[in-house]
Structure 1
Amino acid sequence: MTGRRWDMGATRRMGRVFARRSPGVPEPVDLVASGKLDGALVDWAFYRAGRRDTKVNSYTEALTRARRGQGFVWIGLFQPNQRQLDIIGEEFGLHPLALEDATEAHQRPKLERYDDTLFSVLKTVTYVPHGDLTATSEVVATGEVMVFCGPGFVVTVRHGEHSELAGLRQRLEQEPEHLAAGPGVVLHAIADHVVDRYLEVADAVQADIDLIESEMFNPRGWRKIDRVYQLKREVLELKRAVAPLTGPMRALSTLRHPLISDETRNYFRDVDDHLLRVKEQVISFDELLSSILQAGLAQVQVSENEDMRRISSWVAILAVPTMIAGIYGMNFDYMPELRMKYAYFVVLGVMATACTVLYRLFKRNHWL
């Protein structure tokens, strides 16, 4: 009970900060009812003591209660346009630089602090199921989630078809004691969800790497070297999502901020630990694929050398009858062998014997 009273007090204090940020603000416009967020709004709710307050039916009332420190508002947006983000930014006092980053996709994972508001960018990844891995197979697809976390509000902005936070809000609503700690818990839940997906994708990619590794070292496996290159590109895509997030996650696990309680900070440390594990796994993927790629290139060179030795061996074997036939094709008048009764058969025998000897010699040296 003591921890819960502290969390509730933290929520009320955050609400008072939110109210101080906007002194003299007129009654807010109902952005939901007015349709200004149509096409981008996924869901919104007002949370009091960690529970979704279904009695608050209007966005205006929810925002007013949040400013009084009675809870917080969580708004979820999907690919909003510049005008819609400007409206949200004006409503919550968001920094223009953060709004600019939220408008444009393809941002690096990061964490930025603007006064009492935290802005974070997280790359989401998903594994794309496929049959046989080909030179054009898509293995890893990415999206982005931007989170504005401030006193009395959370705004999530998603970009890309693979940025879903499926069931996250519902799972949090089933843990009201945890959600009562305020907006910082939502930020942790999103980070935890994203990193858990990293682990799932890494396990699936591991299976692809094991398969391509076994195929590469089969006879003529080097013919599939283009698949290794494609898989390496997909692993690099995963690496670009995972590696840059380690800095922001480490900062969240040590950051002293009114939005993040000591208990929530402990949860962030757990997420950071999982992230480091998946980072090491992805780096090992990259190194392993580089080794497989080098082994494949070495196989190509060995195969080319074997083909060249084979060709050279047959050229040497055929050179003997070619030389003898060339000598007897000079048509000189005085060639004593031409008058011999069995010269024709003797020459054929010499040709066959020489070719047989050379063939056995090359065969013993593994040139044929």
Structure 2
Amino acid sequence: MAKKSIDLKRVLKKSFKSQRSIGQAPGTVTYVGARQDGRYAIDVLDYSNDMFHLQSLTDVNEALTFKDNITVSWFNIVGLSNEVEITKLGDHFNLNSLVLEDIVNTSQRPKVDEYDDYAFVTLKMIYLDDDYKSTIEHCGVVLCEHNVLLFQEIDADVFEGLRNRIKNKSGRIRSRGADYLFFTIIDAIVDQYFVVSENIASQIDDLEEEVYNNPKEETAQKIQQLKKEVLQVRKWVSPVKDLISRIIETDHRLISNETKVFFKDALDHSLQIYENIQLYREMTTNLMEIYMTNMSNKMNEVMKVLTIMASIFIPLTFIAGVYGMNFEYMPELQHRNAYFIVLGLMFIIFILMIIYFKRKKWL
């Protein structure tokens, strides 16, 4: 009984470590995640149609100089475990404490919230690591009048192409407002889902070939790992289509109708990705069933060969057993060619059984 109590305490301790905000008042800014290194950095990308400026801030208070500019400012905040700095930045931009709570809660489901002076979106950024495995990072995006705040867990992201577009003044982004930047950030995250989806499809193709041609014990582990990856991606991709639909339907003053047209394209992409992930989920389940069937067939083939071999040797063993008995009076033993006769008989029986099995198509 004591052992069970100790195990229960260990489980509860682990649970509260991963969900530190349980039992706290709503709006408490408490980081929930695994990257508790305390690092924090802010890069500001400020631009207009004729101007571009990139700056790294050493103090949160420096963000105030960009807040009321008529130019568009993209604040890229890296590091969510520094709750004090996140709270300071939230106070500078008058962000609700519930928004800050969702920003630092890495288990938060993707969603969109609307306030009078800003809109807030939280979603998952999914990309491939060096081993081509899906890596999931939490991020939050806040749209203000002339500013967009992007909160990330780590430096790695999927926005390098977007930064280059802004820097090189390619496309329409420099001539549009903060709401279009808000769209391009979400669109870049959604587009990266295609890369993850294609990688999953490639893994499924490889496993299909392995399952059909040379299934091994390790194959089942690979299928199970891929299935977990698909379910994890599906968990965070599924709500994105509803999130974008709500943005399209909103009448928030900060999101123009022109930008909503582009969000419709992002909605099409999110729906396509969701359908692909659903398909891959079914395919991984079918892969496991095919693997089990092939392994069972492989075992049946082995049992079939062993059964045929045993069936062939049953009459031969019987003959050898009869003439191997140590009776004193066995007439056949006195025959001069008895050994060769019995050996020939056993060979004939062997050939006849092989012919019989061939005609039955058991061989």
Letter of the 1:142 partner, please give it. I
Other structure's SS at 1:351 match: helix
Closer, same or farther: CA 147–106 of 1 in aligned 2, 3 Å: same
Which residue does the alignment assign to 1:232?
Answer: 227
Which residue does the alignment assign to 1:310?
Answer: 305
Are 1:271 and 2:266 matched, yes or no?
yes
Mapping for residues 283-298 of structure 1, pairs under 5 Å: 283-298=278-293
Which residue does the alignment assign to 2:124?
Answer: 123
Which residue does the alignment assign to 1:156?
Answer: 150
Other structure's SS at 1:144 match: strand
CA RMSD of aligned residues (A): 3.0
Q: Does the CA-based 8 Å contact 1:41-1:77 persist in structure 2?
A: yes
What CA distance in whole angstroms lies between the structure 2 residues aligned with 1:348 and 1:46? 97
Q: Does the CA-based 8 Å contact 2:44-2:76 persist in structure 1?
A: yes
Letter of the 1:125 partner, please give it. I
Which residue does the alignment assign to 2:64?
Answer: 63
Which residue does the alignment assign to 1:246?
Answer: 241
Give the deviation of 1:193 after TM superposition.
0.5
Q: Does the CA-based 8 Å contact 2:120-2:142 persist in structure 1?
A: yes
Moved over 6 A (4+): 57-62
Are 1:109 and 2:110 matched, yes or no?
yes
Closer, same or farther: CA 270–216 of 1 in aligned 2, 3 Å: same
Letter of the 2:160 partner, please give it. A
Which residue does the alignment assign to 2:315?
Answer: 320
Match of 2:257 among 253, 257, 262: 262
Give the deviation of 1:94 after TM superposition.
1.4
Closer, same or farther: CA 124–221 of 1 in aligned 2, 3 Å: same
Are 1:94 and 2:86 matched, yes or no?
no
The aligned length equals 321
Q: Which moved more, 1:204-213 or 1:351-360?
A: 204-213
Which residue does the alignment assign to 1:28?
Answer: none
Letter of the 2:43 partner, please give it. D
Mapping for residues 1-368 of structure 1, pairs under 5 Å: 39-47=39-47, 51-52=51-52, 63=64, 66-67=67-68, 70-71=70-71, 73-80=73-80, 81-128=82-129, 130=131, 139-160=133-154, 162-172=156-166, 174=169, 178-179=173-174, 181-218=176-213, 220-221=214-215, 224-368=219-363
Letter of the 1:183 partner, please give it. A
Other structure's SS at 1:145 match: strand
Other structure's SS at 2:160 match: coil
Other structure's SS at 2:234 match: helix
What CA distance in whole angstroms lies between the structure 1 residues aligned with 2:199 and 2:53? 39
Q: Does the CA-based 8 Å contact 1:222-1:299 persist in structure 2?
A: no
What CA distance in whole angstroms lies between the structure 1 residues aligned with 2:205 and 2:54? 50
Which residue does the alignment assign to 2:28?
Answer: none
What CA distance in whole angstroms lies between the structure 1 residues aligned with 2:92 and 2:360? 82
Closer, same or farther: CA 352–97 of 1 in aligned 2, 3 Å: same
What CA distance in whole angstroms lies between the structure 2 residues aligned with 1:120 and 1:253? 13
Give the deviation of 1:276 after TM superposition.
0.9
Q: Does the CA-based 8 Å contact 1:142-1:160 persist in structure 2?
A: no
What CA distance in whole angstroms lies between the structure 2 residues aligned with 1:129 and 1:320? 62
Q: Does the CA-based 8 Å contact 1:62-1:73 persist in structure 2?
A: no
Q: Does the CA-based 8 Å contact 2:77-2:150 persist in structure 1?
A: yes
What CA distance in whole angstroms lies between the structure 1 residues aligned with 2:54 and 2:280? 47
Give the deviation of 1:302 after TM superposition.
0.5
Which residue does the alignment assign to 1:5?
Answer: none
What CA distance in whole angstroms lies between the structure 2 residues aligned with 1:348 and 1:65? 101
Closer, same or farther: CA 60–42 of 1 in aligned 2, 3 Å: closer
TM-score (norm 2): 0.77
What CA distance in whole angstroms lies between the structure 1 residues aligned with 2:327 and 2:67? 113
Q: Which moved more, 1:329-338 or 1:348-357?
A: 329-338
Gaps of 5+ in 1: 1-37, 131-137
Q: Does the CA-based 8 Å contact 2:60-2:85 persist in structure 1?
A: no
Give the deviation of 1:203 after TM superposition.
2.6
Give the deviation of 1:364 after TM superposition.
4.2
Give the deviation of 1:151 after TM superposition.
3.2
Q: Which moved more, 1:222-231 or 1:352-361?
A: 222-231
Closer, same or farther: CA 108–59 of 1 in aligned 2, 3 Å: closer
